[in-house]
Amino acid sequence: MDADEADRYRAPALDKGLDILELLASVEEGLTQAEIAKRLDRSPNEFYRMLDRLVRRGYVTKLEGDRFTLTLKLFGLSQLHAPARRLASFAMPLMRDLAQRTRQANHLVVFDRGSAVVIAQHEAPNYWGISIRVGSHMSLLETGSGHVLLAFRTDEEREMMIAEHARDPKAKRPGPEFYQRLSDIRERGYEKMPSAQTAGVHNLSAPILGPDGRVIAALTCPYIGLVNAPDAPDIDGTIVMLQQAARDLSLLAGSDVKITG
C-alpha cells in the first residue's frame, strides 16, 4: 500500500485514541492532559473529547492531580480472547487428570472488567459434585478465585481491579483485614476458604502465572468431603495436587517463577 492509498483509509479520531492508549501503556504514574498533548506533539484541546470518551468507556481512569492512566479493561478483554482460549485448551488435559486424582470438580478463572469469569470447567468423575458453569461471573472479594487473582498482582493493578469491581452497586470496599488475607495468600501460594455461597464447600484456589510472574488465571477446586469414598484425597492432599497442576499450567504459559507452597 503506497502513501496515497494509506492516507485514503486514515481514521484520525481512531488514530488519536490509539495514540493515547499506547502512550499511557508506556508510563506507570499516569499523565495529565497537557503532558499527553506535549508527548504526542499536539494541542491539549485536541484530546479533551477523546479522553472523556475513553474514561466513560472504562479504558482510562482519572487519578488525583488530573492525571490519566489505563484501567485493566484492555487486559480483561485480552483474557477472554485467543490467549484465554489457548490457555483453556492447554489446561483441559491437566484439569481432567486433576479431577480424576482428587475426585473433585475444578474450573479455570480469569479477571474481566471487575469480575472473576470461568473460562473452563471439568466435572468430578463420580456421579455428583460441585461445578460452576463456563461463562459465570463471580465476585472478586467473596471467592477463592477472586482472592488469588488479586493476591498475585501488583498493588496498583489490584486497586484498579477492585475499583472496577466496586462499580457494581452491590459491591463493598474491602477493609485492612482483606488486604492482609491477600498478603497471606501470596505468602503460602494458594487460597483455602469456606464457600460464601454453599455450605459444606471449601474453595481451594492456586495461581497460574505468566512469564512476568503475574497471575493470568486461577485454578480452583470447590472441595466437598466425600463420605462414600474413604480412599479419596483429603483437603490437604487435594491442595497439593491443585498446586502441582497450577505449576504445570504456569510452565505451559511460559512462567519460570517459583510458586510458594
pLDDT at 118: 92
pLDDT tens for 203-212 read: 999 999 988 7
Q: Is the pTM of this model over 0.85?
A: no
Candidates 30, 28, 21, 32; CA nearest to 59 is 21
Label residue 105 left, alpha or beta by phi (over 0 means left) and psi (-120 to 50 means alpha).
beta
pLDDT tens for 6-39 read: 566 677 888 888 899 989 888 878 899 999 999 9
pLDDT at 8: 61
pLDDT tens for 147-184 read: 999 999 988 889 888 888 877 666 677 889 999 999 99
Q: Which residues contact 196 (CB under 8 A, 6 or more apart)?
A: 139, 142, 143
Candidates 139, 156, 152; CA nearest to 217 is 152
